[in-house]
Structure 1
Amino acid sequence: MNVMAKAEKKISSAFIYFFGSFGGILFGYDIGVMTGALPFLQADWHLENAASLVGWITSAVMFGAIFGGALAGQLSDKFGRRKMILMSAIVFMVFSVLSGVSPDMGEASAYYLIIVRMLLGLAVGAASALVPAYMSEMAPAKARGRLSGLNQTMIVSGMLLSYVVDFLLKDLPGEWAWRLMLGLAAVPALILFLGVLRLPESPRFLLRKGDEAQARKVLSYIRKNPAEIDQELASIKETAKEERQANQKTSWSTLFSGKYRYLVIAGVGVAAFQQFQGANAIFYYIPLIVQKATGQAASSNLMWPIVQGVILVVGSLVYMWIADKFNRRTLLMVGGAVMGLSFILPAVINWMMPNMNPMTIVLFLCIYVAFYSFTWAPLTWVLVGEIFPLAIRGRASGLASSFNWIGSWLVGLIFPIMTASMPQEAVFAIFGIICILGVIFVKTCVPETRGHTLEEIEEQGTNHGRVKASNPEN
């Protein structure tokens, strides 16, 4: 026991924050890898005219993630964030390899790959729910926006990594190219597993389970001031005491009780809007978007995903710089407004000037990605990690993650079908309207959380619920 304690004391806060957010690499790699693999897979399996099958192969991971997020959220409340991240890494490794060795059995191959990628999605969805919850519970309130933003930096770094891997492998024979692209996802999963083996459990989870000594020890790794540790422990204990006094037993119905409804709707709504705004249509299909705009083969357009990836990484770094300088709501509303206009304007310009340069839409997509990268992309996961009260955090984070993945799955599934039946400009204009609706939702339904402790955010939501209960007409 003493040897283990000494080993734990050597864990630096930088190590904790790095590997605590490293699950985002898995999330990002699998978002991005199909972008480059799809053109080769289509050619290898002769799927060029099978829009629905292409949509299912692309979106299968997101379909599995719907259930992975909800399941991991519940299990993490019972077994802890750390153990569930480890399990996610193992599942991710296994099914990444199985994706890469898909048998060539005609049309049955597509169904095999769809099923395997659905199971892989369980791990992707789990990571998307667990990482924000873990990071928010480890980060101090004054730096929570910046440190939780590490998750987004990891996600977009994983996407950029997948784009670069796709580009480097594009000259291999078609069958080998897409198989290696998918199979190499096991490498970051292995790195995550080895890193998380040394991570401590969340202090809030430990205290909730009655292990105050270990919770104090973990806080000592990441808080420099003993008085700050005492204050944080006291705050968490007070919240836990109130929950015990109320004999709170969480269930799905608990999430939408008067006490929690306001915060749950806010967090789940932001998570859903992030995906229904259409960002992943760009990330999954940018080579095919450029192909439709210019007539060039999709497999020759793999530099465009790298351009998008670089914009995303730079944007995530910009976010970390401004995260705790601007209100969350302000960034979401400004970002959503510009994103909406970036989708709507190409349709307007094309209507006014039918001979518009087809690359104009790609330029506007780059503007969309730039603003998305430092507003909705990182802030969604920051809010999901910090807005839910401790008693329901695991379950509510899982629900938010599931709604996020429902949006991602639907966008991935229907985008190729939509673009096969209508102009691309019209498709993106629909997403632009959804972006504007997201701005309205943030304005009316989302509280400000910057600079507040998790316990203060919970009190804010509880007070809002009491006001609504006493003034039902409001």
Structure 2
Amino acid sequence: MKIAHISGAFNGRLLVTCGITALSQVTLGLEQAAFTSTQEMPAFAHTFGVYSAEGHAHRLGSDFMDLLNGLPYVGLVFGLVQGSLISRRFGRRASLFVMCLWAFFGVSLLVTSHSQLQILFGRMITYVSVGIELAVVPVLHAELVPAQVRGLVVGTYHTGLLVGQLVMSLICRATREIEGDSSWRVPLGLLYVIPGLVFCLGWLIPESPRLLLINARPEKARQSLQKLRQGRFTDDEIEQEFQQLCDTIDITTDQGSFREIFRGSHMQRTLIIVGVNIFMQVTGDSFVSQYGTAFVRTIDTVNPFSMVCIYSAINIFVSLVAMLLSDTVGRVPLMFASAIIQAGSLFTLGGLGTTSTSPAVSSATMAMMAVFGVGYQIGWGPLSHVVAAEVPTTRLRDVTYAVGAIFSILIQCAISLSVPRAVDGQMGPGSQVGFLFGIFAICAALFTWFCVPECKGKTLEEMDHLFLHGMPIREFARVGQVNVHVSKEVEKDGV
């Protein structure tokens, strides 16, 4: 994508808005890396573990670890539902402020923790804010930006996660040398920073014009759209886009209730979004992450922390490339290639696990982990959020996106609890689990090719028009500019 093509889509207000909301997405990566790293710190184990006479040191119990890594999913689902409801009723910006308040509460519990119960509750509360962010930010990005940069901007959700993980890993690497509880309290305390910035700067974010129209506030919607487009688009272009919003919202659905996502073309969209969220989790990212971490620690000649940083840097770079390509190459080609690369690397990892350990096998395994990372980040990692945010109709975007995200969370929870045991060579099949995930990756490639509509360059209203008129999924990519000024006599979808 040309730089001029990107810069031509952003005026100052939209650039600031996307910057603030994209910054909020780093929080999840910071939190995940903070707990992954602090769990290995002696001071953390001393505070929350029990003394082991056999090892002459404090150890974190398996039950406590299961709760520490499992309870966040409860908070995530609660936050997702709450964020969707608040966002629709009171606005996207209001939900961002609520997100920050939950984050302040959760982090306060974490940094003052002296008991297992407090830190467990604190982490669950922190994930309520993460759930609200998941419900709001990708949807808000999809609704605010012009069609030619939607893939680029919505894809920042995944890239922000990767950046946060790398930054916090480096911070924890430095603080682990500090004596006492400060070694883990300092990284957790830094989780205040981004919610604080978003809370202070959130008033700069305009409300979604589409949401204002849904809530019967057309003049406010027109003003919001002008703030986001003025200076980069002509008055006629802004007015044309506004009329498209009005016309499409009038004919797509009546009330935007939950049951409507299972009617008419909305059912098709719901199934696409659920499928995207499921395949995002089952194509092997959790497996490679868990298996790779355990594998690297067994190699004495490799510094595990250095390898994590190298893999993180590669993943961030490839994710940025995917964001830039998504609005020119398209979602479907990138996601299809992504699934094929993942499948090849997973089958190779599974095969390597059946051979005897040797330096050559170790080198090949680490190489395949890097190849898998490239495959995941070039497509399914960042673009699954893009597709899930842009396929639903405007009135049902919140609820449809939330339903898909709940499936993603449930699958992620099941995998995170089962994969560590499966990749343990003594208790499970080890790297041969890669064969199973490889099959899922092949299924993801087929799902992409036959079920995912190509949305590059199309406005959300044009997508509505194509679904409303029963356009076959494989034909979306062949359709040029769509006339969305449909007569209001057209029968409403699902009626």
Short-chain TM bin: 0.7 to 0.9
1:323 matched to which residue of 2?
A: 326
Q: Distance in 2 between matches of 1:276 and 1:48?
A: 32
* Matched residue, 2:486: none
- Aligned mate of 1:231, from 231, 237, 240: 240
Distance in 2, matches of 1:256 and 1:380, equals 21
Structure 1 residue 233, shift from structure 2 partner: 0.9
CA separation of 1:434 and 1:137: change in aligned 2, threshold 3 A:
same
Code of the aligned partner of 2:279:
F
Among all aligned residue pairs of Structure 1 and Structure 2, give the percentage whose two residues are the same amino acid.
22
| Aligned partners of 2:163 and 2:316 also within 8 Å | yes
Match of 2:415 among 411, 415, 419: 411
Question: How does 1:82-97 map onto structure 2 within 5 Å?
Answer: 82-97=93-108
Match in the other structure for 2:296: 290
Q: Which residue of structure 1 aligns with residue 311 of structure 2? A: 308
**Conservation of the 8 A alpha-carbon contact between 2:32 and 2:165:** yes
Alignment of 1:99-110 (within 5 A): 99-104=110-115, 109=116
Which one-letter code corresponds to 1:240 in the other structure? I
In structure 2, relative to structure 1, the CA distance for the partners of 1:285 and 1:346 (3 Å cut) is closer
How far did 1:174 drift?
Answer: 6.6
Asked whether the equivalents of residues 284 and 346 of structure 2 are also in contact (C-alpha less than 8 Å), the reply is no
Asked if 2 retains the 8 angstrom alpha-carbon contact of 1:361 and 1:425, the reply is no
Distance 1:213 1:253, change over 3 A: closer
Q: Could you tell me how far 1:202 is from its partner in structure 2?
A: 0.8
1:466 is displaced (CA, Å) by: 10
Greater relative contact order (CA < 8 Å, ≥ 6 in sequence):
1
1:232 is displaced (CA, Å) by 1.3
RMSD: 2.7
Which residue of 193, 201, 208 maps to 2:199?
193
Deviations along 1:134-180, one digit per CA (max 9) or x if unpaired, are 00111111221122223333222222222221222222247432333
TM-score by length of 2: 0.83
Task: Say if 1:34 and 1:284, in contact at 8 Å, map to a contact too.
Answer: no
**8 A Cα contact 2:391 2:463, kept in partner:** yes
Alignment deviations for residues 201-228 of structure 1 (CA, whole Å, 9 cap, x no partner): 1111112222222222222232222122
Q: 2:3 — aligned with what?
A: none
Q: Tell me if structure 1 keeps the 8 A contact 2:92–2:208.
A: yes
Does residue 79 of the first structure (1) align with residue 84 of the second (2)?
no
Structure 1 segments, 4+ long, off by >6 Å, are none
1:145 maps to which of 143, 151, 156? 151
SS at match of 2:408: helix
How far has the Cα of 1:101 moved from its partner?
Answer: 2.6
1:208-265 CA deviation, whole Å, 9 max, x = no partner? 222222222222232222122111111111122225xx6x233332211123011111
Q: Which of residues 363, 367, 370 in structure 1 aligns to 2:371? A: 367
CA distance in 2, matches of 1:287, 1:99: 26
Query: How high is the TM-score relative to the length of structure 1?
Result: 0.86
Unaligned segments of structure 2, at least 5 residues: 1-10, 51-57, 474-495
Question: Which residue of the partner structure matches residue 464 of structure 1?
Answer: 470
The secondary structure found in structure 1 opposite 2:264 is coil
Contact (CA 8 Å) 1:19, 1:192: kept in 2 or not?
A: yes
1:446 aligns with 2:452: yes
Whole-Å separation in 1 of the counterparts to 2:364 and 2:35: 25
Q: Which runs of 5+ in 1 are unaligned?
A: 1-9, 468-474
Alignment map for 1:113-192 (pairs within 5 Å):
113-173=119-179, 175-192=181-198
Is this contact kept in 1: 2:45–2:60, CA < 8 A?
no
What does 1:396-435 align with in structure 2 at a 5 Å threshold? 396-420=400-424, 421-435=427-441
Give the secondary-structure state (helix, strand or coil) at the position aligned to 1:197: helix
Residue 470 of structure 1 is matched in structure 2 by none
Cα distance change of structure 1 residues 410 and 140 upon mapping to structure 2, 3 Å threshold: same
Kept in 2, the 8 Å contact 1:55–1:416? The answer is no
- State yes or no: 1:437 paired with 2:438: no
Contact 2:151 2:323 in 1 (8 A): yes
Q: In structure 2, how many angstroms separate the alpha carbons of the residues matched to 1:207 and 1:185?
A: 35
Distance in 1 of aligned mates of 2:125 and 2:291: 22
> Are residues 70 and 450 of structure 1, via their aligned partners in 2, closer, same or farther at CA, if it must alter by over 3 Å?
same
Please say which of residues 452-461 and 42-51 is displaced more in the overlay. 42-51
Equivalent pair of 2:30/2:164 in contact (CA under 8 Å): yes
Mark the CA change 1:53 to 1:438 in structure 2 (over 3 Å): closer, same or farther.
Answer: farther
Deviation at 1:281, TM superposition (A): 4.8
In 2, Cα distance between equivalents of 1:289 and 1:34: 20
Q: Within 1, Cα distance between the matches of 2:378 and 2:96?
A: 26
Q: In 2 relative to 1, CA 275–145 (structure 1 residues): closer, same or farther, beyond 3 Å? A: same
Give the C-alpha shift of residue 56 in structure 1: 3.4
Match of 2:6 in 1: none
Match in the other structure for 1:58: 69
Partner of 2:383: 379
The structure in which a higher percent of residues are helix is: 1
C-alpha displacement of 1:284:
6.8
Give 2:284's match in structure 1, choosing from 255, 278, 283. 278
In structure 2, relative to structure 1, the CA distance for the partners of 1:252 and 1:289 (3 Å cut) is farther
Mapped partners of 2:218, 2:386: distance in 1: 26
- CA pair 381-310 structure 1, distance change in 2 beyond 3 A: same
Moved more, 154-163 or 81-90: 154-163
Q: Deviations over 1:86-134 (max 9, x none)?
A: 1112211221231233214xxxx1x543332222211111111211100
Select which of 206, 210, 214 maps to 2:216: 210
1:11-31 Cα offsets, whole Å, 9 max, x none, are: 622101111322211122223
2:7 is matched with none
Distance change in 2, residues 1:349/1:283 (3 Å): closer
**How far apart in 2 are the matches of 1:213 and 1:425?**
58
The structure-2 alpha-carbon separation of the partners of 1:359 and 1:112, relative to structure 1 and needing over 3 Å to count, comes to farther
Question: Following TM superposition, by how much is the alpha carbon of 1:401 offset from its aligned partner in structure 2, in angstroms?
Answer: 2.0
Range with bigger deviation, 341-350 or 132-141: 341-350
Which deviates further from its counterpart, 87-96 or 422-431?
422-431
CA distance in 2, matches of 1:212, 1:120: 36
Aligned residues: 447
